Amino acid sequence: MPRLRRYELRIGIEHYGDWSQATRDFRVVVKPIFYFPQSNNLMLEVLRVYGDDKNLLKDFIMRFKYLNNIYSVIGMYKVNDHEYELVF
């Protein structure tokens, strides 16, 4: 019987006009947690953001809040000094 193998693939995706493109200059890791499509072309997303440099992480979050394609940041939750969750 053939052995089953499990592979993990880590990729970076950049969408045109999306937060992924607007924030690509920051050395942070962004992990999408939830994505809920809503009506009227709106969506609710939850991201977890990791960074080694606390100041860079805070700069990323401040820039994120003012992107044109983000309607509103509903919540920012500090998990620890190097990790935040963003709900928008």
The domain locations on the chain are: 19-87
The predicted pLDDT at position 16 comes to 64
Alpha-carbon gap, residue 87 to 32, rounded angstroms: 10
* Per-residue pLDDT at 30 exceeds 70: yes
Q: What is the pLDDT of residues 40-79, one digit of tens each?
A: 778 888 989 888 888 888 888 888 777 777 888 888 899 9
74: CB partners within 8 A, 6+ apart: 44, 87, 88
Q: CB atoms < 10 A from the CB of 44, how many?
A: 13
pLDDT reported for residue 14: 65
